Amino acid sequence: MSQETPQRNLALDLVRVTEAAALASSRWLGKGDKEHGDFAAVEAMRLSFSAIDIKGTVVIGEGEKDEAPMLYNGEKLGTGNGPEVDVAVDPVEGTRLLAFGRPNAIAVVALAPRGTMYNPGPAFYMKKMTVPSEAKYQVDIKAPVAENLRRVAKALGKSVDDMVVFVLDKPRHAGLIREIREAGARIQLHTDGDVAGALMAITPGGEVDMMIGTGGTPEGILAAVAIRIMGGEMQCMLDPQSDAERESVQQAGYSLERVLTVDDLVKSDDVFFAATGISGGTFLKGVEFTGKGAVTHSMVMRGKTGTFRLIEAQHSFSKLMRISAIEYGTKNERA
């Protein structure tokens, strides 16, 4: 049996990026200003990426260049040395959660070999179904909701009544919510954060058994990296939410009937993923300020080895501020 020499785990570099974004944006927690909170995270991420030895290209970012001055689709990241990679970022997944001090805002980054991440084009929304590894190959996104719930419950050794389903609390999900309740399962309704929802569904020992519903296509691709590493399953179908989006998607040659799997969304096992809690929640604690610094909580994954880490980090602002251009502390802490 051939063996490889251990290679650098880029996920351990990525967690510094998500920690920086979480530390910078968490100063805006509950202040009602999602734009400044997001900008602080974007700026911190971009500066942190400049120290990583990759030839990175943003494929899932803040938008097109004319709309996003930093971390825009197509932007080059890293030192220019090292492997060529696709980069997917969400500096604050759940900007409204951050702005209003609600749970489960997170900073997220994923890497994959160049050209292996799905290009969503003009498709902004997709219908998703995410289940943990125990229920892999048991679901069919085109089947009735009740049937999928029965299949997942059986795979998990539960009754449908024991199941908890993550659903975004949106008007488009009124029928879905009714079907889940009629089947007998319980629901966690969340206003935002379907990357967090997917992570909750695949993390062992979590409170959520599966995630169902329509959310952002970029978020689906980010989540697919983690799902591939953890061995779970996600099935998706593009689901335009306006006539204009539908027309753009069909003109670009995308099928609305095709079921997309994790293998379609990221075509490699040589992937890396990191997420850091910002506002706290049921699966990742948020940034905790101590007066002299802060504590962050992150999950870090590497696809090639399947390694999953939970990292608690202690940050000293008096030392960080001597070497970092990122403004982590308050005015008093920076003085």
**Within the chain, which residues score under 70 in pLDDT?**
1-7, 65-66, 68, 320-335
Q: Which residues are annotated as a binding site?
A: 38, 62, 90, 93-95, 125, 170-172, 192-194, 216, 219
Q: Which residues are annotated as a binding site for Mn(2+)?
A: 38, 62, 90, 93, 219
- Look up the pTM and report it: 0.91
Residue 34 makes CB contacts below 8 A (sequence gap 6+) with 28, 92, 95, 96, 98, 99
Query: What pLDDT does 324 receive?
Result: 57
Query: What pLDDT does 291 receive?
Result: 86
Query: What pLDDT does 328 receive?
Result: 59
Q: Which residues are annotated as a binding site for substrate?
A: 93-95, 125, 170-172, 192-194, 216
The structure tokens listed for 181 are 């309740």
Query: What pLDDT does 292 receive?
Result: 87
The structure tokens listed for 36 are 């400044």
Residue spans of the domains in the chain: they are: 10-115+270-321, 125-265
CATH code of the domain occupying 125-265? 3.40.190.90
> What is the C-alpha to C-alpha distance for residues 217 and 265, in angstroms, rounded to an integer?
10
3-class DSSP state of 269: coil
Q: Half-sphere exposure of 123 toward its Cβ, with a 13 Å CA cutoff?
A: 27
The structure tokens listed for 297 are 């909580």
Query: What pLDDT does 5 receive?
Result: 44
> What is the C-alpha to C-alpha distance for residues 125 and 154, in angstroms, rounded to an integer?
30
Instruction: For the domain made up of 10-115+270-321, give the CATH fold.
Output: Fructose-1,6-Bisphosphatase; Chain A, domain 1 (3.30.540)
Taking every pair of Cα atoms in the chain, the longest distance, rounded to a whole number of angstroms, is 60
Query: What pLDDT does 7 receive?
Result: 67
3-class DSSP state of 62: coil
